[in-house]
Amino acid sequence: MLAPLKALEQLQARLRETISALPLDQPDGFASLILEWPHALNTAPDLAGPQFHFAHNHRGERRAGYGIAGEWLAEGPERLPRLRAAVTRATANWQQIDPDETGFSGFGLLGLAASPHPPLHADQDDLPNALFWLPELALCSRSGQAALILTTPLPAQADALLSRWTARLDQVVPLLDQPALDPLTPAHLERGASEPDREIWRDLVFAALDEIDQERLEKVVVCRRLRLEGHRRFDLARLNAALTYLFPSCQVIQIRRNRSSFVAATPERLFTQYRDRIEADAIAGTACRADDAERDAEITKGLCACEKNLREHQVVVDAVTDGLRQCSRHLEPADGPRILQLNNAQHLWSVVRGQLLPGVDVFRLAELLHPTPATNGQPRQVARDWLRRNEPLERGWYTGVAGIVEPDLTGELWVLLRCARIDDRIADLYAGAGIVAGSDPSSEWQETEHKLAAMATALQFA
């Protein structure tokens, strides 16, 4: 393994050798230069400034982006078509220069808030309603291989670009081979207010059940926010490491554009698109875990046989299938339900697979699939309208989506669950529960407690 200084010198030399291959005099578009890194990346450093990280332990995949080469924002009911149009125009000429033949390419982040409507009480530190972001420096690691990817808008001046990219490498490369940070000694977290509180939660669940009894809703997902305060500033690098260790089958996500960071450890993939192939998750129906293996097996068996949970799950399977049917030439029957087991919870899980029609991209798929009944309700628009009138908090990016998009506008998006918005020593955690006929307010509150415990446990070690 190369020493950090030696690796930095080699990358800088490779940058000087290859920057002339970039079409810097073209009048518009973007160009990415892909430089090989000699081994897989075990970590992505937490740096000052805008950045995002995606890590999936079981898959051995990591992506990170630093700085902004280009970004496009949108909001409102037409946010996805408008964002797609802007991104398609801007990236139609996106040149990929891969002198080391790594097989990697530049990539962007697509992220959406839960609702297309701007919040009533906006904070300048909030993430935009809908965002597509091309990082200036990206890291990509999978299957034991890795690359650093530098991206610039065109046209660009070679000397200035070389100076700026050299500084980027100076900043990042010495940190890439640092060992993963050990967790800090567990710290006590002060538990603040829950919004809604337990009494308002009970009223909210009963109001939802009334809508279901009247057959105006089949399902609706209500959520709550819990504030935790630490006695030290939360260390985001340690938090990411703790979440990756505790929840290896989840996608761990961190996004920061301004001061606060949005962090998630989500088990729920919205979809993966590879060329014309599609896989989408349907996850709904939840039970806790038990330390005792025999008791844990009993809980799993009960989840598989629970009429309420099976009904809730089938609502999501049907909605995902109906959404994909609008853009697919062939769909396979849903594979499931099976059990998705996490450290602190287990869920009913099915996968829907198919072949897409020509021209379908991540923007169209997100438009058809988000929000699913697992995070919003069914019928989709009726549930969204009911939540907008009745839910006493603004979700922001909780139950939104975020993921990685390739230059051909295919990619993978994840539903933003098990989330926290973190600013210094303050963490606002989010969790929700699906309300269907037969739901009980106390049981649903307890379900949110189990879900909140995922992030709360990791924060103790950050």
From first to last of its 462 residues, the chain has per-residue pLDDT tens of: 455 568 899 999 999 999 999 999 999 999 999 999 999 998 899 999 999 999 999 999 999 999 999 999 999 999 999 999 999 999 999 999 999 999 999 999 999 999 998 887 767 778 999 999 999 999 999 989 999 999 999 999 999 999 999 999 999 999 998 776 666 778 889 999 999 999 999 999 999 999 999 999 999 999 999 999 999 899 999 999 899 989 999 999 999 998 899 999 999 999 999 999 999 999 988 888 888 889 999 999 999 999 988 988 998 999 999 999 999 999 999 998 999 988 878 999 999 999 999 999 999 999 999 998 889 999 999 999 999 999 999 999 999 999 999 999 999 999 999 999 999 999 999 999 999 898 999 999 999 998 999 899 999 988
- Could you tell me the pTM of the whole model? 0.94
Distances (CA, A) of 227 to 197, 378, 430: 12, 29, 9
Q: What does the alpha-carbon distance between residue 303 and residue 447 come to, in Å, rounded to a whole number?
A: 13
Nearest Cα to 142, choosing from 221, 269, 15, 56? Answer: 56
Q: How many CA atoms lie within 13 A of 446 on its CB side?
A: 9
Report whether 436 contacts 315 (CB < 8 A): yes
Helices marked H in 235-292: 236-246
As a dihedral over the C-alpha atoms of residue 109, residue 262, residue 264, residue 204, rounded to 10 degrees, the angle is: -120
Domains and CATH numbers, the chain: 4-175 (no CATH), 190-460 (3.60.120.10)
3-state SS class at 361: coil
What are the tokens at 182? 């050990």
What are the tokens at 210? 């009334």
Q: Are strands 401-405 and 411-415 parallel, antiparallel or unpaired?
A: antiparallel
Question: What does the angle CA 349 – CA 355 – CA 361 come to, to the nearest 5 degrees?
Answer: 90
What number of helices (H) and strands (E) belong to the chain? 10, 23
Nearest Cα to 228, choosing from 421, 393, 382? Answer: 421
Q: What is the CA radius of gyration of the chain?
A: 22
**Cβ count within 10 A of residue 329:** 11
What are the tokens at 284? 């709904």
Host H or E run for residue 125: none
Q: What does the alpha-carbon distance between residue 11 and residue 15 come to, in Å, rounded to a whole number?
A: 6
